[in-house]
Every structure is written in C-alpha cells, then in structure tokens.
Chains A and B, each alone.
Chain A
Amino acid sequence: MTNTSTIFRLSDIRRTYKVGSEYVHAMDGVDLEIDDREFIAVIGTSGSGKSTLMHTLGFMDSPTSGQMVFEGNDVSSISRGERALLRASRIGFIFQAFNLLPRLTVIDNVLLPLTYSRKVVEDKHSAGMAALERVGMSHRYSHTPNQLSGGERQRVAIARALINQPRLILADEPTGNLDSKNRGRIMELFSSLLDEGITLALVTHDDEVAEYAHRRIRMQDGKIIEDSRK
C-alpha cells in the first residue's frame, strides 16, 4: 500500500548493463518509497549502485525492468522527451563538480532550467534573483562562475536546482569539493529546503554529511541492504 504522501515508488527495479560479454547488475531488485519532504542519504561503496539509483530517480536512466511511480503516475516506460520534461520541471540536480556553465553569468546559469521546462514565468530575472537571494548569492548575479569560490558555486548550483520549484532535489556528493566550513553551510541550506516542500536525496561517502539526513539508505551490489530512519 502506497502512503498518500509518497512521491516516488520503485518496485523491483533492475538495471543491467552489458560490459563486453559480462552482464553487470547495477540495480538488482530495488524497492523504495520516498515520501514528501524526506531527506535521504544514500551511502555505499563505489560500484554499489547508488549513482544508478540517483540517475533512475532523476529520469536520466531507465530501468531494465520494474515499476516506477512518480507523483501517482506510472513512469516506468515513458519516452526520452517525457523524461527530459520531468527532469526540467520536477527534479533539481546538484553535482559534486557544481557543473555551472563557465561562459554564462551566475543569473544566466540559474535561469537555464526555465529555458527547458517551458514554464511561463512573467519576470524571469526577478525569479532568478529570488532563487539567488534564497541561497545568499544575489549580490554576485552578474559574475561568472570562475569568479566564485567553491562554496559560492555550489550555492549558485542550488539556486539553479530551485528555480523550477522542483518536487525532488537529487544531489551527488554535493559537498565533496568543499571545505568543512562550506560543507556545514551547504548542509544547513539543504535542511532548510525541507520546509519549502522539497524532498531531498543525496549520495555521499561522508558519514558526517549523512548525519544531516532523516533517512539513511545503504546500498551494496545493486541492492538496498539498510534503510533506516532517525
């Protein structure tokens, strides 16, 4: 039975790759329900399947088999175009390497997802400035990414993830390139997003970072071997 506040449900998800003549089972029968406003940390060793899980949740990858239900709709076999539209409108991505486009200014980077989500926004600049304000970066809107520190870049990347008011934010080692001071600030920022109705899932190797999450999922050999809530 699916909880009414469940936004994502994965049932018996398998993802198999063929590498040469070998088959690699990156996800091997994963069952997972993600509730609204949850803060989940996905942990596991390298090759455990946590990145494949994140790509699947972010509609970047399709499972080989199994069922995916997002916001009550079966999205197991939707087209690439529909997956792209869901990525643009309902999902926010945050990467370890920030992945801001160096030739664009801070505000243009933040506004980029609006281009692809096809959302009608009356005043894009104001929306971008509001997102930057939310992460404390509005004063740097006209700078380019290479004029910012690592922590500032990640805050801009968070503003970019927020611009389309996503339901789910997926973060892949978001503090991996940051010092401890910036790591703390970014994690505080993540925690505050839950109050705005956003669900968070992050992949990390760092137990300290995982401590911020309300739920911890440990993966090994493509399976969830631990799913614990605080």
Chain B
Amino acid sequence: MNPVGDALTGVSNGLREVWASKLRSLLSMSGIILGVAALVAMVGIVQGMLGNMRASFEASGGILKVEVNKRAPPESQQYIAGISPGMTWRDIGAIEKSIYLADFVTPIVDMGWERFVANGRREGAMLKGVTPGFIGIETREIKYGRFISDTDIHLKSPVIVLGSHIVNDVFRGKENVIGEQVQVSGQLYTVIGQLAELPPIGGAANRWGNFENRMNFIPATTAMSRYRGNDTVNEIYLLANSVESLPDLVGQVENTLTQTHRGILDFEIRTQEDRLRELKKLENSFTYSLGGIAAISLLVGGIGIMNVMLASVSERIREIGVRKAIGARSHDIFIQFLAESVAISVVGGLIGLVASVGLLSLAQDFIPQGEMINIVPVTAMLFGFAFSTTVGLLSGIYPAMRAARLDPIEALRYE
C-alpha cells in the first residue's frame, strides 16, 4: 500500500480525464475563472485606490499634520454661539504665541475658483491665502523664485506663487515667469514664485494631470483684506514636531482655541491618525464586502463543478464498473474523481489569475487615475487561488464518494 503512489495514480487518471473532455471541463471551470478573475481584479483596483490615498496623505504632511476645521457648535451651546468670533487670524497669532509643540502653522483662506488673466490669456484655477508655514507642512518644491515670506504677510503684499497649470496655460511658452504680472479676479499680483509641476496621479496616461498643480497661493493677509474684508479663515494646518507630541499638541490647540472662541466649541481638530483610521476602516469594509462577493461567486463556481462532476459520475457508471472489475479499489475511484474536480478548479483558478491581470491592465487604460490600480495583487492572487482550489476539493468530495461507492456488478450492468 503506497498512499502517495495511489494519490499520484488518481491524479494522473483525473488529469487525463479532464484533458479528454476539454469542453466539459472548460464549461465547469467557468464559474471558478470568473470568480477568481473578479476577486483579484476588484482587489487590485481597491488596493490601488487605497495606496493612492495613502500616497496623497503622505504628500500632504503625513502623520504629523493636524487640521483645525469649522463645525457647528454642540446643541447646548447654540443659543450663545454668537459670542464666538469664529475661526480668525487672531487664532493663528494665539497658536503661534502659546504653542511650542508645532513646527509650522498656516491658516487656509480659501478663495475657491478664480479667473487668472495675463499675457492676453485667461484661465480658471484655485486661489488660497496662506502663510510661510504652508510650505513646511505640504511637501511642495519651489522651481523658481521663493514662497510667501513673513514680510509679505506683514505688508499684505500683492504677490503670488503660481502652480504649473497657470504658468503653462496663461504664460504659454515662458519657462520662468518671476516678476510677471497676473490679474486674479480684478486684482493685480506680481509673481514671486513658481511651484514645481507634480506628476499626474497615475502617470502620463491621466489627461487630467494632478489637481494640485491648479493651486495658487497669496499671503493670507492679502486674501483677507482684498477679498473678504474681515479676518476669518477657513482652516488651520499645523505640523507637530514629533509623533509623541501629537496628543499634547491637540490638547494645547484645543485649550487655546477654546479661549479665543470664548468657550464655544465651534471647531474640530483632526489628526492624520483620524484619517488613517478612516482609511483603515474603508480598507476593512472593502475587504469584507469583496471577500463576501468573492466567496459567493466561488461557491457558485463550486456548485457548478459539483453539478458537472455528478453528471460525469452518472455518465461514466459503466466506466467505473470496468475500472473496478480490472482492479480499481473504491479509494482509487474516489481519488480519481476528486483529482478531476481539483484539477478543474486549479486550472480554472490559474486561468482566472491570468484573466485578472488582463482585466487590470485593461482597466488601467480606462480609469483616469491610471496607477490607482495594483496590476499584480499577490496576496489576493494567492488567496483566490487557494480558495478556488479548496472549493474544487470540497465540491468534488460528494460526487467522488458516489462514484467510489458504486457496486462493480451493478455498474457493469448499467446501460
């Protein structure tokens, strides 16, 4: 008795049978092919998206970044909410004075979409009022000139730092536009800096480029005085000096702003840990829902295999009788049919993996954010392959048992 030899014999008989009935085998493995291909392709797309979100998270200050946003005060404070001045320039001053755990601070005075005119051309882009701290928080490279300085803030200078989109579109043909004049919604600015162009997310295939290149910056004080007529700001960004100081920094910001807002909690402080947690949550929900879909589609594939294998047993009753008559034991027949089922699922799984890579390559050409796709999601591929093999194994057990239990005399009489 040699269990390994017996198993190999069964597997070789099983494979020979799969090969002998190519069309039937292909049809029975179609469920597995689609299940594995869909699972891997979906995981590839989702992994790519999440990877991209992480990359953008790293580029915008990483784990050390803290964001302060406006929010509605709690219900218990709503009747006195009016006593708070809201988020203002004074908050920046208070934070800079009292908080020593942050390396950089900047307000964001968001002017939204503005019309840029120069050189006889016009183009729409985003305009934001910031302080020098901005360039310490967001990782942006200055290509020519300089970023906004403390003096610009102090003097409310009419200066602007342009992103590559306006430089390329409005000042077409000019490499360096430092010192040029640009009109933004009727206000004239002198260009003092040009930001280096960020590559399109997903490579050259993405015709939308990178949205960050459409951002242009002026001193926060200039934005407030020229456009707002008051000192309100939309957001405040800070960069902690270390990961360890993050909780204390959040506490300090909370204390300071509670004071400047006269006790009204009309702001929220969000750390990147929160964003990371949300990202992780998103990842988990994708994993569970994709896992569920994959499990269902592969189970359907498994039922397909079982159906075909049961039909195959019924079709081959006489053959089973012949095999038993010439010496096959019940477990030889069991292994042969089980091997057929596993072979169908293994081959189906492999075809599914190849199809998934094809689908992902195809999807990359059609999705604007091209490289948001992981072409070879190895873990998902291994999981999909292992799961499909297991499904094949499990769905082959019952038909194989039915085949093995057949009485050789009865089987030989079967017409």
A residues with a Cβ closer than 8 A to B are 55, 58, 60-61, 80-81, 84-85, 87-89, 93, 95, 99, 101, 103-104, 112-113, 115-118, 160, 164
A112 close to B326 (CB less than 8 A): yes
B332 close to A116 (CB less than 8 A): yes
CB of B323 closer than 8 Å to a CB of A: yes
B322 close to A87 (CB less than 8 A): no
CB of B2 closer than 8 Å to a CB of A: yes
B64 to chain A, nearest CB (A): 68
B2 surroundings in chain A (CB, below 8 A): 118
A60 surroundings in chain B (CB, below 8 A): 324-325, 408-409
B contact face: mostly helix, strand, loop, or mixed: helix
CB of B21 closer than 8 Å to a CB of A: yes
Which residue from B9, B21, B409 sits with its C-beta under 8 Å from A55?
B409
A116 close to B17 (CB less than 8 A): no
Closest to A103 in B: B20
- Separation of A136 and B16 alpha carbons in the complex (Å): 27
Which residue from A55, A61, A85, A99 sits with its C-beta under 8 Å from B327?
A85
A80 surroundings in chain B (CB, below 8 A): 329-330
- Say yes or no: A84-B17 contact (C-beta < 8 A), given A99-B318, A116-B332: no
A11 to chain B, nearest CB (A): 22
A210 to chain B, nearest CB (A): 23
A113 to chain B, nearest CB (A): 5
- Say yes or no: A160-B327 contact (C-beta < 8 A), given A115-B9, A118-B5: no
Q: For this complex, into which size category does the number of interface residues on chain B fall? A: 20 to 34
Which residue from A55, A61, A116 sits with its C-beta under 8 Å from B326?
A116
- Separation of A60 and B16 alpha carbons in the complex (Å): 26
A89 close to B20 (CB less than 8 A): no
B20 close to A117 (CB less than 8 A): no
In chain B, positions 5-27 with a C-beta closer than 8 Å to chain A are: 5, 9, 13, 16-17, 20-21
- Separation of A93 and B20 alpha carbons in the complex (Å): 25
- Most chain A beta carbons < 10 A, residue from B13, B327, B328, B412: B327
Closest to A113 in B: B326
In chain B, positions 84-101 with a C-beta closer than 8 Å to chain A are: none
A113 surroundings in chain B (CB, below 8 A): 326-327
A58 surroundings in chain B (CB, below 8 A): 325
Closest to B13 in A: A115
B409 close to A84 (CB less than 8 A): no
Closest to A85 in B: B327
B13 surroundings in chain A (CB, below 8 A): 115
B318 surroundings in chain A (CB, below 8 A): 99
- Separation of A73 and B377 alpha carbons in the complex (Å): 62
B residues with a Cβ closer than 8 A to A are 2, 5, 9, 13, 16-17, 20-21, 318-319, 321-330, 332, 408-409, 412
Which residue from B9, B21, B326, B328 sits with its C-beta under 8 Å from A93?
B326
A112 close to B323 (CB less than 8 A): yes
B157 to chain A, nearest CB (A): 87
Closest to B5 in A: A118
A103 close to B326 (CB less than 8 A): no
- Separation of A61 and B409 alpha carbons in the complex (Å): 8
A88 close to B322 (CB less than 8 A): no
A55 surroundings in chain B (CB, below 8 A): 409
Closest to A92 in B: B326
Closest to B326 in A: A113
- Could you show 8 A-B contacts with beta carbons less than 8 Å apart? A84-B327, A84-B330, A88-B328, A93-B326, A113-B327, A116-B9, A118-B5, A164-B327
B322 surroundings in chain A (CB, below 8 A): 95, 99, 101
Closest to A164 in B: B327
Instruction: Apart from A88-B328, A116-B9, list 11 A-B contacts with CB within 8 A.
Output: A61-B409, A84-B327, A84-B328, A87-B326, A88-B327, A95-B412, A99-B322, A101-B319, A103-B20, A116-B326, A116-B332
- Separation of A206 and B402 alpha carbons in the complex (Å): 37
A103 close to B412 (CB less than 8 A): no
Which residue from B17, B327, B409 sits with its C-beta under 8 Å from A103?
B17
A173 to chain B, nearest CB (A): 12
